[in-house]
Amino acid sequence: MSSVKKIVLAYSGGLDTSIIIPWLKENYDDPEIIAVAGNVGQADELEGLEEKALKTGASKLIVADLVDEMVDDVIIPSMKAGAKYETYLLGTAFARPIIAKSLCEIALAEGADAICHGCTGKGNDQVRFELTIKHFAPGMKIIAPWREWDIKSRDEEIDFAEAHHVPLKITRETDYSKDKNLWHLSHEGLDLEDPANEPNYDKPGFLEMGVSPTQAPDVPTYVTLTFDKGVPVAINGEQKKASDIIADLNVYGGQNGIGIIDIVENRLVGMKDRGVYETPGGTILYKAHELLEMICVDKDTLHEKEKLAVDFADLVYNGKWYSPLREALSAFVDKTQEYVTGTVRVKLYKGNIIPAGMTSPYSLYSENLATFDESDYNQKDAEGFINLWGLPTKVQALRAQGKLQ
């Protein structure tokens, strides 16, 4: 431990990373600690972070602006893939590889001996951080205090913080474990640890990105999104970068109770875990993209893409963003998005996203072919098609009856 002179710490200012600074000072022979906060859109959580980091023993705080990198390099490619992990839209998993990549860049530039993170030994994030570190800084020492110290619970963490005069914004009664970025907010712990308990969505302060559907307005909100090759490029006719579109959708979605899910998911480490996720803007974006694909992507490609979306989501969830397979799947996805260009209109109403029309210059939908009125479609052609398509079925039946010749 005494050989570690300089540590780069993934610093959020939350309970875990707040107490890690004094713990590192005590247990690693007073090393220099550079706190690094990745700005991934957590907004007010960054306020007062520098003062807090310095007061608790860090030599400096570096805030890395990672919002657009996270959105453009991870979120949008995953959205184009339709990647969902057991209905979870991967909010925490999207941010981790980008934050860890930044930690590596800073650690190498600063000549650090180690990178430290505050992930628990029970969670997925330790894997996401460390696989990324192994990719970008394979020789770097990794320190994970939750796998070293004697602290066993969040209550004991608070005891440590109080003993070391570390200021906290939480109390023992309101200490949900939360993770926030531009894309989502997660809630875990306390009463949510029992799946029998209904989340108190209407309790003031529980939901932060919006309201519950029961508190949403009685009047619907219409939103129009424009895509170019699967990438969102405009909202309500106004061209904007993707991160700003997501920010706008968060407002519309939050106001209308969109994107709140309560799931028990299968963690990578083997246990089931219950969480409540708020993803208002992301839920709208995923849905609008799916609607546009319905008219722009052919059947075989769409069905294959839907199957591979599960594999894509597994890679993201399991920390393998920087892997050959994920890159190969992204190349496939990009090919499928060649003609996913057009505009989608949705109606937001009390937690629901209701399709309200989509158009594309590359649509495969032909009203002339699909109409119930007279069209160019020759219905007599169906007879020969069915005879050939059903020939194996007919042959099997004749065999079973002993009539096959």
In angstroms, the Cα distances linking 94 to 27, 78, 99, 186, 303 are 32, 9, 9, 13, 24
- Which is the catalytic residue, given 12, 18, 113, 125? 125
Q: How far apart are CA 386 and CA 14, in angstroms?
A: 63
How many helices (H) and strands (E) the chain has is answered by: 14, 14
Closest CA to 179 of 106, 301, 319, 275: 275
Find out whether 358 and 343 touch, Cβ atoms under 8 Å.
yes
Residues facing 9 on adjacent strands = 35, 116
**3-state SS class at 39:** strand
Q: How far apart are CA 202 and CA 15, in angstroms?
A: 25
Active site residue 29: no
In angstroms, the Cα distances linking 215 to 250, 331, 351 are 16, 42, 10
Closest CA to 76 of 298, 276, 337, 292: 337
- Which is the catalytic residue, given 177, 186, 243, 360? 177
- Helix extents (H) in 212-298: 242-255, 280-296
Find out whether 174 and 220 touch, Cβ atoms under 8 Å.
no
Active site residue 326: no
Find out whether 106 and 62 touch, Cβ atoms under 8 Å.
yes
Find out whether 156 and 120 touch, Cβ atoms under 8 Å.
no
Residues in the chain: 405
Active site residue 16: yes
Active site residue 177: yes
- Which is the catalytic residue, given 96, 186, 243, 326? 96
- Supply the residues annotated as catalytic: 16, 96, 125, 177
